Amino acid sequence: MAQTEKSGQKPSIAFDLNAAVNDAIGACGGDLLATIRSLLVANNFLMTQNQLLSTELDDTWKWVSPGYTRSTSKRRMKTGEE
């Protein structure tokens, strides 16, 4: 039983870092330099995608009505309230 299950908390999604590292090295035929190169290329691709999506999201927010973006956690004050 995992530590989080004993304490009553919901277990987090498990990520076995060692297995992921071994898989990445194995996918590159055991060549560490090729593994690092492929991880850097993948990271660069993901960073570029993130930037493009952030730019698109910024452009989208310009067109969204402010009524849809205001906070819903604030309670409306009644007349006469301070």
> Burial level of 61, CB count in 10 A (0-12/13-18/19+)?
exposed
Per domain, the residue ranges of the chain are: 17-58
pTM of the model: 0.55
Taking the C-alpha atoms of residue 25 and residue 23, their distance in angstroms, rounded to an integer, is 5
> Which pLDDT score is estimated for 47?
97
Query: Nearest Cα to 13, choosing from 21, 4, 22?
Result: 4
Query: Tens digits of per-residue pLDDT, 15-40?
Result: 888 999 999 999 999 999 999 999 99
Q: What percent of the chain stands above pLDDT 70?
A: 62
Give 66's Cβ-side CA count (13 Å radius): 0
Of 51 and 12, the one with more pLDDT: 51
60 — pLDDT class (breaks 50, 70, 90): confident
Q: Are 4 and 12 in contact (CB under 8 A)?
A: yes
> Which pLDDT score is estimated for 76?
56
Residue matched to tokens 């309230």:
81
